[in-house]
Chains A and B, each alone.
Chain A
Amino acid sequence: MSRLPVDLQGVYALWVRDITRFVRAPSQVVGALLTPLLFLVFLGTGFSGAAIPGIPEGVDYLQYIVPGVVGFTLLFGASFAGLAILADRDVGFLKEILVAPVSRTSIVLGRVAGGSTTALVQSLLILLLSIPLGFRVRRPLLAPLALVVLLLLAVTFVGFGIALASQFRDSQGFGILVQFAILPLFFLSGALYPLDQLPTVVQYLGLLNPLTYGVDALRGVLVGNAAYPLVVDFGALALGAVVMVVVGAALFERVEAG
């Protein structure tokens, strides 16, 4: 019954569980949207009309940061998937999952599916909320591609969260690390300003950050001012997603239930 490395019914079970919990806890959904919303309202309107170096002329600052903040929302939401694994360990439920006859890879894929879906919903909500604030989708025909970008980003960062979580025994240490990691990833992604404004060494760090390509691709498909060719963005995103899921699965494989 579990000869296959991937057990689809097991993946589905984990996905349904994540969605059920997500739907049942609207306060968490709203809570996760507050920080990005603050960024949008205060930065987007505060710097509206300001001449920010490196931003193409004619592009309003709100137009510029909506893709960045949407990417941030996703990062924020995805980090909870790692936390969810450790929360399961804290309450003992991880044992129920680990003792089942499904491969570790299926468990990781199930978590990626669940975590990505919830993070995707959250980032789409922010995108919708940005419209009454004045955001305009310039290229509606390409907009569906934004979904693909968001999905690839979600998979990448959920995979990252799982890889990280498998190295921790409890949720507290992990929570602190995630808090610490999210902001540098955000600032080093070109979400708020173009990366070429940063010192060269820091720029290279930014180029290693999958969020950089995600935010750039979102700008490309929604606003129409990407810094890199879309092919580069999508290639980097796909690579990041695959690498992170493989690494996450490999590290999770060694998790003992004790």
Chain B
Amino acid sequence: MAAIRVEGLGRAFGDTVAVDEVSFEVGRGELFGLLGPNGAGKSTLVGMCCTLLRPTAGTATVSGHDIRAERAAVRGSIGVVFQETALDEELTGVENLVFHARLYGLSRARRRERVPEVLDLVDLADVADDTVDTYSGGMKRRLEIARGFLHEPAVLFLDEPTLGLDAGTRRDTWEYIRALNDRGVTVVMTTHYMEEADALCDRVAIMDNGAVVALDSPTQLKAGLGGDVVTVETADRVTGLPDRLRGVDWVRGVEVTGGGLGVTVDDGARRVANVVRLADEAGVTISAVDRRAPSLETVFLDLTGREVRAGGDSGLAEPAAVGGRGDELGAARASGPDGGE
């Protein structure tokens, strides 16, 4: 049985379609990523799966429970870490966890066993009795991850789990997420960090405009591009070089750009020299060569014709820098009526 089965699930806010009737499945024990820019509909999709938002189309089952008809059963079987901090900062770390344990109906004995266990798992045992307002951003995030896992949910939803964390803290957080997944919890996480999805997820659904535009393992998604791209900048005309390259068996594609060529090759590291040699033979003067291994970034570019973010940096992206689309729920752009069936 699949951990999650999404069937034609959609949500519109007025005329704006945030999630456009998407369908997919997440297997048990999978670490599943929803990847896409802000406003793609990831948080709305997760919000519906958590029963916090009501769908306007389709439905989904989580651990076999329907998100429309069996809301309480769904809630009992999931853990959620929200995009924004959802801790009571006037309470201590332990008090936040005990509150959660009671809401989820854990027995006193079970609670006494689990609370120290999860605190230990995220290395917060030392500060467990400090109020949360003294915690750093990374510590708060860890406490929330521990809390999401406290009642041993079948599925754990993480909405942008590393948003706003510095690079080192993000990598630590990845380790905690992996550790949970290794214990058998199905993890569904949203992210707009390409390398985060690449490093962590077993499979990734790439979302854009409320639709899933691709779904596969990061390796397969990247392999789908055909190989590395060798970019050649030339001083003058490229004359016969494109045709010459197209005649070679290890070249998958050639694209003539403004200042040179983009050559897709099967094995970039070894082929750079060959490309240069062929250019020499064609009498083309090269001013610069660069090789780009396929990344989820280039996969997204290939699928949508757009960069995920204006800047290449992925560590400090802020909503404003992500194309100015703003809030995930409120500002999802309208997509065409083509998604309906």
Contacts and interface: CB of A to CB of B under 8 A. Distances in A.
B237 interface: no
Contacts of A257: 47, 52-53
B52 A98 contact: yes
A92 interface: yes
B88 A93 contact: yes
Interface string A160-201: 000000000000000000000000000000000000000000
B102 A9 contact: yes
A253 to B, nearest CB: 12
A10 B52 contact: no
B329 interface: yes
Most buried by A among B75, B103, B105: B103
A93 B82 CA distance: 10
B103 A92 contact: no
Contacts of B82: 92, 95-96
A99 interface: yes
Given A101-B76, A257-B47, A96 B86 contact: yes
Contact of A101 (B87, B89, B105, B147): B105
Nearest to B80: A99
A13 interface: yes
A231 interface: no
B95 A95 contact: no
Interface stretch (A16-24, A46-54, A148-156): A16-24
A91 interface: yes
Given A91-B89, A258-B329, A101 B75 contact: yes
Contacts of B78: 99
B172 interface: no
A20 B78 CA distance: 27
A27 B51 CA distance: 38
A92 B50 CA distance: 15
B85 interface: yes
Given A91-B89, A95-B82, A13 B99 contact: yes
Contacts of A7: 105
A20 B95 contact: yes
Contacts of B87: 92-93, 96
7 contacts: A10-B103, A17-B91, A21-B88, A21-B91, A100-B103, A257-B52, A258-B329
